[in-house]
Structure 1
Amino acid sequence: MSTTSPDALSPSSPGLSPSWRQSLPLLIAIIGWILFCYRDTALAMVEIWARSDTYMHAFLVPPITCWLIWRQREEVLAEQTRASILLALPVAGTSFLWLLGELTAVNALTQFMLVGTLVFAILALLGTAVSKRIAFPLAFLFFAVPFGDFLLPQLMEWTASFTVFALRASGIPVYQEGLQFVIPSGNWSVIEACSGVRYIIASITVGTLFAYLNYVSWRRRVAFIAASLIVPVAANWLRAYLIVMLGHLSGNKLAAGVDHLIYGWVFFGIVIVIMFMIGARWAESPAAVAAGEFAMTASNRHPVGRIQAWLAAFGIALLAAAGPFAFFAIDRADQASSPQLASLPPPSGWSATTSFASWKPAYANPSAETLTAFEREGSRVGVYIGYYRHQDYQSKLVTSTNTFAVSTDPVWSVTARRQSATRFDGLPASVRTAELLGRDTTPETRLIVWQWYWINGQLTSSDLAAKLYTALSRLRGNGDDSAVVMLYAPKDIADEALPAFARDAAAAIAKQLASTRDSR
């Protein structure tokens, strides 16, 4: 039997040990300081929770995290806190990554780094022994980050493909173009609400919590979390198919309007309840805790490092504040007037002409934009340039909402996407290509579009590369001048017209963009 000191804490002893009496005020102060420094990021998270049904569950994540820690309070408080200056160093990394996210207006990155900063601050102030006890609650905090919109295009394509496959397997003829398809009883399209992303995010959040509370072995936990990811994807495919079938068999009297979303949630709820009922059959009871396991004995009791705790807290405060202060300095130094983007002059051999299509890309709030058309020997090519400067969360070049055409557009829709290799000076190695269908003419208009980015002189068709080029440009003090360039032509002549125009006009486009940048 071991002896304990008067200050030792056991499950039945009242009060806090000296290490906790010192660490708790520092921890509360540091959490408050971090939330103050990153208040705009925190408020942006809350705003997304409030306006989006997909992420409204995130309001419950912080309270659940606190509850998970509270239910382990005896085990946690029985551990000695041991602050570490070395464990505070990762805060430098999260602060720098937050800076990159803020410079390029990437919500997900700044918000993940805010949570990461909080987690590493807790780890540094409380030490590894305490942090191991609350590892899952701390990790669960990351579910508060609104993340997953980038999955929308792929999930929508999968849903449309499965629905069409299932309809054909049911003997119903289907004509499909992209995310839209026609069956004998009417027209259907897969939009963002049909992607199933909200089902997946809700399922993986609740499923992870369920696995932690009901299983002990990592194998069962991982298996159930995997099921929480796979089941809602498959359930959403089946839901979409059943809704179309319900509409088809009822003559579009059922599931043709907002009620199909209600049916979808009911179906999803039934599937998830069944999944949890099955999962509960394999629930494991936590191993019984031996009496006195959490008591602090003389052999594991160490002196409280008061100076070390204060140094760690001071280091965390400085490192956490470095990112916001650096952004303030960079943003304040980057002062320039609104850009004046001149219309593109006709390339050699081409002449200006009137627009031949009503299409315009769905890019929000550019600082300046031009839409022109050119003709040569019956070949017509359109050029769209959207120029961005002083980008922020309301006006930025690269975002999931900037696209060729939104899914709810009544006239224009995207029927195909791909990457196309190019070998022209003034263009990146590959460009994004899309085929568009317009229903405002007879016969319908079909366009082929080439799209790439210009980032302060750098060319790319990659969203990630565009963000990195923007961040590097701002870090170097060169601003964030960026543009999206799109060439488009009727489908029947696009294979010849687009390459010919690109060869003749690429240099002029690059010169025009550089001139706009240099006139800052």
Structure 2
Amino acid sequence: MNPPVPTPASFAAHPGWRTALPTLIVVLAVILVLFRETALAMASIWARSDTYAHGFIVPPITLWLIWRIRSSLAVLAPKPSYLAVLLFAGAGFAWFLGELAAVNVIPQFALVFMLVLAVPAVLGWKVARRMTFPLLFLFFAVPFGEFATAKLMDWTAYFTILGLRFSGIPVLSEGLRFVIPTGSWSVVEACSGIRYLIASVTVGTLFAYLTYYSLRRRLLFVAAAIIVPIIANWARAYMIVMIGHLSGNTLAVGVDHLVYGWVFFGMVIMAMFWIGARWREDEPAPEPEPAALSVLPDRPASSSWGAALATVLVGSLWVYAQWQMEHNLAPPITQLPSFGQVAGWQSAPQGIDDWQPGFVNPAASMQMSLQSDGRLAGLFLAYYRNQDQQHRLVSSTNVLVTGDDHVWTRVTGGTREISFNQQAIKVRTAVLSAGDGKRLLVWQWYWVNGRWTASDALAKAYTALSRLSGKGDDSAVIILYAPQSQAGGGEAALEELARAAAPVIEKTLQQTAAAR
């Protein structure tokens, strides 16, 4: 009778684990302590946002996935890698830059990268490769994806309106709002489907890993987990409007709106998983590792601790550098210098259509309505200094129209080049609409310590470079707006105001920055 073929579970753990595993646990704990503010910021988002509440279960799932393969890991010899320590230093630098630019997602991704890279730093690349999926799954803990909300809202509105018209219902639409014979509807952030999409991709990726063995099937199912919830959300929005229309707005309104949406989404996702399970692939039984692996000579215990110490020291240096930057702050400001007279323009007796941009927590701001030869226009300026996660120029909460604004909605947007103080700069354009038919043409751009840009990414990069060079993070948003329906059009009024106000705006910004 042949002896039974040994399985990985029958091998004794490599002796190197007795030192390497406790070392890794200590290193991970120290990283979390050093970068605790970033970790706590992630956890606070999980707690307050239903979209990212799954973040609480991602680390336990990662640990469970590693536990599943513990027998195949135990026979591998931990061998620290100083290349991983070097890559860890690069992730730390990305964290540092993200903190300088006050971009939440960069430090959060960098922290997860550091946690992941600590594994090969202490245990080696061979062990880390065996844990590839569990380690990569940890990135789902980062609250990421809100950038897609606006585009998903646009798609939802477009396909809902298309479906209604295809059903023979007349629709009058403007931006994200539309009117049908039985009432008016609007697509808000909750209708974007971003929650469905993120939940589907997270669970779908885990399902694909556990259900399939081939990379092709895994990628196909993940692709389905992206496409299906987007299309399902369009169908959900269409059906809710149709139910409301056919019931005389007695069904699918208020709380029912959300309940019907989650029930429908749950049914779609269950169907997707049920269909996906029909093509299940069982992972083939792993071939036994040669017995020699369990008795490979181990490196001295000091090597694990050496790599661990190098990892911790590198992380500490970036935290110290950030601490130094945070304590080199400019004096706070509470108001802007007196804004000079704009040549050819006078203060308007009343505001323009009672609109205010949704830029929150500036160090100082001002807004004024101006008139010239019968033309009306407005100017808004918000100044930011000593930026942090709650007080920053570029963020998802700083928008022209907030999600809870029941008067104004953004209809269109784009970019154009204008002449500003004898230089050509690019600005973002938008058309805002109120329910009573009023429209505003809006131009928006940023100033970052003397540099002009309309790009969020460049504004963040300029902020980080300015702080690195010791010039601080003084930044501002400049917004010009005018009624589109006035004589000569809103564009002519904005062009004239931009030319006349440019010297005054630049002088105000420079004076404020000089008061450091």
TM-score (norm 1): 0.94
| Cα deviation, residue 102, structure 1 | 1.1
Is the 2:380–2:478 Cα contact (8 Å) retained in structure 1?
A: yes
Counterpart pick for 2:21 among 18, 21, 24: 24
The letter of the residue matching 1:199 is: Y
Aligned partners of 1:300 and 1:511: how far apart in 2? 74
Aligned partners of 1:254 and 1:353: how far apart in 2? 47
Aligned to 1:44: 41
Is the 2:383–2:477 Cα contact (8 Å) retained in structure 1?
A: yes
Query: Where do 1:88-487 residues align within 5 Å?
Result: 88-290=85-287, 293-297=288-292, 301-354=296-349, 355-425=351-421, 429-439=425-435, 444-487=437-480
Aligned to 1:60: 57
The letter of the residue matching 1:473 is: S
Aligned partners of 2:149 and 2:340: how far apart in 1? 38
The letter of the residue matching 1:456 is: N
- The DSSP-based 3-state class of the residue aligned with 1:417 is strand
Aligned partners of 2:136 and 2:86: how far apart in 1? 19
- The DSSP-based 3-state class of the residue aligned with 2:411 is strand
Is the 2:75–2:293 Cα contact (8 Å) retained in structure 1?
A: no
- The DSSP-based 3-state class of the residue aligned with 1:516 is helix
| Cα deviation, residue 461, structure 1 | 0.5
The letter of the residue matching 2:329 is: D
| Cα deviation, residue 394, structure 1 | 1.2
Counterpart pick for 1:511 among 507, 511, 516: 507
Is the 1:23–1:126 Cα contact (8 Å) retained in structure 2?
A: yes
Aligned partners of 1:483 and 1:222: how far apart in 2? 43
Is the 1:366–1:388 Cα contact (8 Å) retained in structure 2?
A: yes
Aligned partners of 2:103 and 2:14: how far apart in 1? 42
CA displacement, residues 335-374 of structure 1 (integer Å, 9 cap, x when unaligned): 3122530343232222222323200001111111101122
The letter of the residue matching 2:444 is: Q
| Cα deviation, residue 174, structure 1 | 0.7
| Cα deviation, residue 15, structure 1 | 6.1
Q: 103-112 or 63-72: which moved more?
A: 103-112
Aligned partners of 2:417 and 2:244: how far apart in 1? 42
CA displacement, residues 6-61 of structure 1 (integer Å, 9 cap, x when unaligned): xxx97455864321011012101100110000001111111111111111111111
Is the 1:181–1:188 Cα contact (8 Å) retained in structure 2?
A: yes
- The DSSP-based 3-state class of the residue aligned with 1:18 is coil
Aligned partners of 2:147 and 2:327: how far apart in 1? 31
The letter of the residue matching 1:394 is: Q
| Cα deviation, residue 300, structure 1 | 7.9
Aligned to 2:3: none
Structure 1 residues 426 and 229 mapped into 2: Cα distance closer, same or farther (>3 Å)?
farther
Task: List runs of 5+ in structure 2 lacking aligned partners.
Answer: 1-5
Is the 2:32–2:39 Cα contact (8 Å) retained in structure 1?
A: yes
| Cα deviation, residue 203, structure 1 | 0.3
The letter of the residue matching 1:392 is: D
Q: 326-335 or 450-459: which moved more?
A: 326-335
Is the 1:85–1:308 Cα contact (8 Å) retained in structure 2?
A: no
Task: List runs of 5+ in structure 1 lacking aligned partners.
Answer: 1-8
Aligned to 1:500: 496
CA displacement, residues 151-189 of structure 1 (integer Å, 9 cap, x when unaligned): 111110010011011111111111111111111110100
| Cα deviation, residue 401, structure 1 | 1.3
- The DSSP-based 3-state class of the residue aligned with 1:372 is strand
TM-score (norm 2): 0.95
- The DSSP-based 3-state class of the residue aligned with 1:422 is strand
Is the 2:466–2:473 Cα contact (8 Å) retained in structure 1?
A: yes
- The DSSP-based 3-state class of the residue aligned with 1:429 is strand
Aligned partners of 1:277 and 1:427: how far apart in 2? 60
% same residue: 50
Aligned partners of 2:266 and 2:467: how far apart in 1? 46
CA displacement, residues 219-265 of structure 1 (integer Å, 9 cap, x when unaligned): 00000000000100000011101110010000000112121111000
